[in-house]
Amino acid sequence: NIFMIEKKKTELYQELGLQARDLRFQHLMSIATRNNRIIMRMEFLKAVITPEFLLILDYRNLNLEHWLFNELASQLAGEGQLVTYSLPFEFRAIEAILQYRISKLQGRLNTLQPQILETLEALVDPKLLSVDRSKLHILLQNGKSLSELETDLKVFKETILEILDEEELIEELCLSKWTDPQVFEESTSGIDHAEEMELLLENYYRQAEDLANEARELRVLIDDSESIIFINLDSHRNVMMRLNLQLTMGTFSLSLFGLIGVAFGMNLESSLEEDPRIFWLVTGIMFLGSGLIWRRLLSFLGRHLEPPLPPHVPAVLKKSQPAAGRVEIKNNLKAETFGLSRSTLTNP
């Protein structure tokens, strides 16, 4: 049975037997027990679980109507895919809330993963000479969303881990074991409710751990892709700088031998301007000298831009070191043997 009620906080506290501080929900994610009641908060979802009913607080502004009326009812009635359908009511309620939270986290990861992969594939392209700023903006937004998802997964895991580390907390979550004598007799006859609750929490902790590993892999992929992007940009920048340097050297070469043309263009009278072949001779000398200087400058640039080779260790040095060690050991052994023989002769 699903129904909606509206009550004041004071009336709700009195009916549930709780204090005002119990329903303040100070943490984003928490699972606690008060007066045989389980108080859960999974970010925006606030719930109170008793052995008879599940109370969802302030659900109108959270878009939970589809989950409440179409999925949750069948899960609590044992018609869903919950593995705790044969256990008491609080087991089904806890698993339904945890499954809802894990599905939301999984959905966020499934939305982010293709967007991040598509953006990285567009950015990590060696043919691109520049980076698209719109793609970088999308990657920045997706990175922030991924960081928020990692934080939510971490808090979810820590919340469950705090309960798994305390056996008393696990026992307190089994409400029907202490309120219903028949359930308590069944648990003593072979069904350990505390163990079932521990297995239930471990299952969702493992699912959160798997999601955290996938998010961590995406984070590593983003970091590696950023390194590749920076390497590509540096390589293109180096090419442009080298081209600029080559053009500068070519300009310097032409300017250097262009002084000859400047000298002949000063309108000074000499006997050389009367010779018709002197123009081609001077022009050829200018271009030839500029080309030679430019080639020398390029060879000088190539020698200084090549990476240095590792130092070469001669093979003779490698062989001579162990040999010297062996000779020294043999000499020591000979000296020791001579000393022993000398002592044996002098003792008698």
All domains of the chain, ordered by start, with CATH?
9-237 (1.20.58.340)
- 41-63 pLDDT, tens digit per residue, is 888 888 899 888 898 888 776 67
Q: Side by side, which strands form the sheet with 45-49?
A: 29-34, 37-42, 45-49, 54-57
pLDDT at residue 335, rounded to an integer: 42
pLDDT at residue 178, rounded to an integer: 64
Give, in order, the Cα–Cα distances in Å from 21 to each of 15, 25, 33, 250. 15, 8, 13, 81
Q: What are phi and psi of 48, to 5 degrees?
A: -125, 125
Which residue type occupies 263? A
Residue 34, SS3 per DSSP: strand
- pTM for the full predicted model: 0.66
pLDDT at residue 160, rounded to an integer: 92
pLDDT at residue 209, rounded to an integer: 95
Question: Going along the chain, which residue ranges are E strands?
Answer: 29-34, 37-42, 45-49, 54-57
Ranges of the chain with pLDDT below 70: 61-62, 78-85, 125-131, 178-191, 257, 260-261, 263-273, 300-348
- 59-103 pLDDT, tens digit per residue, is 776 678 778 887 888 778 766 666 666 788 888 889 989 999 999
Residues β-bridged to residue 45 = 42
pLDDT at residue 81, rounded to an integer: 63
pLDDT at residue 106, rounded to an integer: 94
